[in-house]
Amino acid sequence: MPTDFFAVNGRVMPAAEATVSVLDLGFLRGIGAFETMPTYGGGHPHALDEHLRRLWESAATFGLAPFFTVADLRRVIREIHQRSGHPELRINLVATPGAHTAGVFGGSTPTWVVIARDIHAPPPEAYEQGVAVVTFVARRPLPEFKTTNYLSGKVGLEQAEKLGAHEALYVSPEGYVSEGVTSNVLVVQGRRVMTPVIDCLPGITKAGVRPVAESLGLEWYECRLTRDDLYTADEVWITSAVREVLPVVKVDGRPVAGGAVGPWARRVRAAYREACIRSALADAQRAGDA
């Protein structure tokens, strides 16, 4: 049977043995950056360079400079995949300043953790039937960076769970939809794909969807969105590394375009997934992993 293996500071071990200090600033102060990425084609991570680059951009907000390399991370993922027996992995990478030593935020040797489990993507029916989302008014701290501070999204996710929805979307006090708690949001009107770029994380998956959508004949527009844009859309999508492109058929209890999955969602997701597989395998070949 497949078994979970994690890594702490580059050392792979059974998941039950993976621990960090109770003095770690990720635990004491909630200071950390993280990334999530899937593997394709037999354990090969997708967009590894991009995810690690964004991790360091986020970590720089709390003074953490790069302290391990892409090669280090690729080695760990390869070992975990070989030892775990999982066909593919959902990888969560976390970096913190390490154990508290001085003042309020003083750390010692930084900590990095790789949590790798079965991919656990949404089930096929989520893509065939679509999902529901809700909106809620809040701002996310440092929205352009991917930190471990998700407290602002807790209310939204609790609301989504209560209403049987898959995701919650941030709406600013000014009335603009920015992103999901764990995803980016895109709206399709005709052949136009519209998505916010203000007060939201620059999504790696969303960036990868753009050339795929444009190659299929869609036009890409970066602009502000309101709830009404979602309510009146032909299609609504949310994107993230593991979900890829997930169609939304209901927003705040209102059906999107009759409540059926639109044709563009199916075409874009299929093409994007193929592109991810090709990219992951090409990266692995360049790194000597395939």
Residue of 28, 23, 127, 106 whose CA lies nearest to 62: 106
Mean pLDDT of 94-98: 97
Q: Where are the domains of the chain?
A: 5-118, 124-260
C-alpha distances in Å from residue 237, one per residue of 19, 75, 138, 180, 254: 37, 34, 21, 11, 15
| Residues pairing with 240 in the sheet | 244
pLDDT of 156 reads: 97
Q: Which amino acid is at 73?
A: L
**Rounded-to-integer distance, Cα 134 and Cα 136, Å:** 7
Tell me, rounded to whole angstroms, the distance of Cα 267 from its chain centroid: 21
Mean pLDDT of 178-190: 98
What is the tens place of the pLDDT at every residue in 114-153? Answer: 999 999 899 999 999 999 999 999 999 899 999 999 999 9
What is the tens place of the pLDDT at every residue in 263-288? Answer: 999 999 999 999 999 999 999 999 99
Phi, psi of 30 (to 5 degrees): 70, 30
- CATH 2.60.40.10 corresponds to the domain 5-118: no
What is the tens place of the pLDDT at every residue in 195-233? Answer: 999 999 999 999 999 999 999 999 999 999 999 999 999
Structure tokens at 126: 């989520």
SS3 state of residue 281: helix
Residue of 28, 23, 42 whose CA lies nearest to 277: 42
pLDDT of 107 reads: 79
| Beta-strand pair 167-171/106-107 | unpaired
Instruction: Check pLDDT > 90 for residue 102.
Output: no
The single residue listed with the structure tokens 């874009």 is: 268
- CATH 3.20.10.10 corresponds to the domain 124-260: yes
Whether 5-118 and 124-260 share one fold: the answer is no
Mean pLDDT of the chain: 96
Instruction: Check pLDDT > 90 for residue 192.
Output: yes
Q: What is the DSSP string of 159-221?
A: HHHHTT-SEEEEE-TTSEEEEESSSEEEEEETTEEEE--SSS---HHHHHHHHHHHHTT-EEE
Residue 120 neighbours by CB distance under 10 Å: 12
Q: Are 35 and 146 in contact (CB under 8 A)?
A: yes
- What is the sign of the dihedral through the CA atoms of 157, 163, 165 and 171? negative
Instruction: Check pLDDT > 80 for residue 290.
Output: no
Q: Are 67 and 112 in contact (CB under 8 A)?
A: yes
Q: Which amino acid is at 71?
A: A
C-alpha distances in Å from residue 59, one per residue of 71, 263, 283: 19, 39, 24
